[in-house]
Chain A
């Protein structure tokens, strides 16, 4: 009498080891979605494997990657042909090596994909900030800054050092946010610092993890325009953020 079960409960590699300790001739039928595979055991070895029109070792290597499906084993059958000569332990080792190779390749591909996505996102932020520069009167610089003071993207017309400005204004913006909260004065939308030389507007993106900072000259800057543009562009930047 044979056995049957599900590959979720026991792996094919384990089934191989069990059946390769039994000298009887056996046929294992594996159902995996629409596919059906057959593996034949004889004299404590895997001697034949079939999947679709394919036979031999390559079929075993493919079957080892199956984690789902059902199996059924019949004993004392006739072996139709011998397509595998390698020892069962050698088959398993080669199968595991190939699986690891596939996994490694997949990881490398995922990483490259991640880097590409990051570059695309960064490029998108740069494009949005460049577009903002054209719409704000008296524009000198802008930056998308994390609440830790690190820039995600920045754009400057060369007057200000965005890294330095971002680090400085983050401290101020955080203090303002904390004070507004403690005073029960509502939810902070933006903060505008007016100095002798210019305006610096800071506005949170939804979630308060990042904020947009825009600097303009005092002479050419227009407060209404600056506040309107900051609202519009924080929305755009928020949409470009990965969620």
Chain B
């Protein structure tokens, strides 16, 4: 078990019965650690979807000049879903709990565990931050179609004779 997974296990234990799912996710939407305790809840789907939400949250915050995004909390009639950036925003952390959980405690625990997670994420120097992901223009790599030269044929029978 990696250090990252060990920290996540400790965090799950602290949440207790209200825990549903947690993942540390790259801005490409791929989880690097975590998982779901509820077979009906897909942690990988949540990771991908919340990557989009976090990207959009950053765009929105930039447009309205509200500074860096810290986190996003979704409340439904069943769950709380908190997603927050880790460190330099290369990764984000999403936690899903039942809405029986105490929201204040959950936020406090996340504040406590976030630095540990940041410290345990394997460092890859060339991974892009959220700002770099958003600023990178999309370059279409479409090569022009190669046209096959067509041989000029007057008549099939004449060509055959030649």
Contact = CB atoms under 8 A, between A and B. Distances in A.
A195 B67 contact: yes
A186 B75 CA distance: 9
A130 B29 CA distance: 41
Interface in A179-218: 179-180, 182-198, 200
A171 B60 contact: yes
Is the interface on chain A under 10, 10 to 19, 20 to 34, or 35 or more residues? 20 to 34
B72 A193 contact: yes
B74 A196 contact: no
Interface in B76-96: 76-79, 81, 96
12 contacts: A175-B52, A176-B74, A179-B49, A179-B53, A180-B76, A185-B76, A186-B76, A191-B74, A193-B60, A194-B69, A194-B71, A194-B73
Nearest to A177: B74
Contacts of A227: 75
A15 interface: no
Which 3 A-B residue pairs are closest in the complex by CB-CB distance? A196-B67, A186-B78, A186-B76
A165 interface: yes
A119 interface: no
A190 B79 CA distance: 11
A193 B68 CA distance: 11
A186 B53 contact: no
Given A165-B64, A179-B50, 9 more contacts: A169-B60, A171-B56, A172-B60, A183-B41, A185-B78, A186-B76, A190-B74, A192-B75, A194-B73
Interface residues of B, number: 33
B45, B60, B79 pick with most chain A CB within 10 angstroms: B60
Interface in A35-54: none
A168 interface: yes
A116 interface: no
B42 interface: yes
A187 B96 CA distance: 14
A185 B73 contact: no
Contacts of B65: 197
Given A175-B53, A191-B75, A194-B72, A200 B66 contact: yes
A102 interface: no
B53 A195 contact: no
B72 A196 contact: no
Contact of B53 (A172, A190, A196): A172
Contacts of B70: 194-196
Contacts of A194: 69-73
B72 A189 contact: no
A175 B59 CA distance: 13
A189 B60 contact: no
A172 B61 CA distance: 10
A215 to B, nearest CB: 8
Contacts of A186: 76-79
A182 B45 contact: yes
B49 A195 contact: no
Nearest to A198: B66
B57 interface: yes
A164 interface: yes
B79 A176 contact: no
A87 interface: no
A164 B64 CA distance: 7
B46 interface: yes
Nearest to B71: A194
A230 to B, nearest CB: 10
A21 B101 CA distance: 87
Contacts of A79: none
B41 A192 contact: no
B77 A180 contact: no
